[in-house]
Amino acid sequence: MATASTAVTVGVVTDGRIERGEQTRRLILRRATEIASVDGLEGLSIGRLATELDISKSGLFAHFGSKEELQLATVRAARAIFVEEVVRPALVVPPGAERLWLLCEGWLSYSRRRVFPGGCFFQAVQAEFGSRPGRVRDAVADAGIDWGALLEVTAAEAGVQDPAQLTFEVVAFLEAANTASVLHDDHAAYDRARAALRARVPAVRR
């Protein structure tokens, strides 16, 4: 019969293994988001990640089970990073014009600082999966829908007369800056995008 001390020891060992497993999973997904931002989600493979991270293929496969599950987990991980980098800092101010501006500034900073090496993760993978039905496309689309919805609600809270139109323009300015920077190495595009946003976002106009 196991003693109380044995049970505690087993619990500690189990907890330690779980924590190490979670750390390994986070490491894998962080690298996966970096690769996908440059090479796309199709650029991911269990073999490539295993080699780059010096993890056995069987060990890595145990975390995900298939390439599709790896891709889905990568999208979820990228969303979490995006929220921490762009969304959460803007939530420190009350709903309204200032929050809308902080969301815009946060996005420009996130792209400019290359939180993901390929620029905006979601802009990189949208074109890749835009016309390919399936779970991965749905996950990518949902991320874009949620971001647009946040901008639109915040614009409405700021008293914008046509929040949907403003959201369309904001997203266009942001993505144009990201594309110019990534494709043409034109980092001045961020300043041009900021100037365009200043003319449209209520917080700055006031």
Summarize pLDDT for 135-194 with one digit per residue, the tens: 999 999 999 999 999 999 999 999 999 999 999 999 999 999 999 999 999 999 999 999
* The pLDDT value given to residue 78: 98
Using N-to-C axis directions, what is the helix angle for 163-184 and 121-129, rounded to 10°? 100
pLDDT surpassing 70 at residue 202: yes
- What is the distance between the alpha carbons of residues 86 and 178, in angstroms, rounded to a whole number? 15
pLDDT surpassing 70 at residue 130: yes
Higher pLDDT, 18 or 131: 131
Q: Quick check: 124 and 38 in contact, CB under 8 A?
A: yes
Name the pTM for this structure: 0.87
Which alpha helices (H) appear in 40-129, and where do they start and end? 46-53, 57-64, 67-82, 88-90, 97-112, 121-129
**Is 145 a member of any domain?**
yes
pLDDT, averaged across the chain: 90
**Is 24 a member of any domain?**
yes
Kindly write down the DSSP assignment for every residue of 35-62, as one continuous string.
HHHHH-GGG--HHHHHHHHT--HHHHHH
Q: How many domains does the chain have?
A: 1
**Is 206 a member of any domain?**
no
**Is 147 a member of any domain?**
yes
The arithmetic mean of pLDDT across residues 103-110, rounded, is 98
Domain extent for 68: 4-201
Position 144, amino acid: G
Give me the phi and psi of 2, to 5 degrees please.
Answer: -70, 135
Q: Is 33 exposed, middle or buried (0-12, 13-18, 19+ CB in 10 A)?
A: buried
* The pLDDT value given to residue 85: 98
Tens digit of each residue's pLDDT (9 = 90 or more) over 39-75 = 999 999 888 999 999 888 888 888 888 899 999 999 9
**Is 57 a member of any domain?**
yes
Reported confidence tier of residue 13, pLDDT bands at 50, 70, 90:
low
| 151-164 core/surface letters (b: 16 or more CB in 10 A; e: else) | bbebbbebebeebe
* The pLDDT value given to residue 61: 82
Tokens of 35: 């690769």
- What is the distance between the alpha carbons of residues 200 and 169, in angstroms, rounded to a whole number? 9
CA angle 23/69/74 to nearest 5° reads 55
What is the domain-level CATH number for residue 188?
1.10.357.10
Reported confidence tier of residue 127, pLDDT bands at 50, 70, 90:
confident
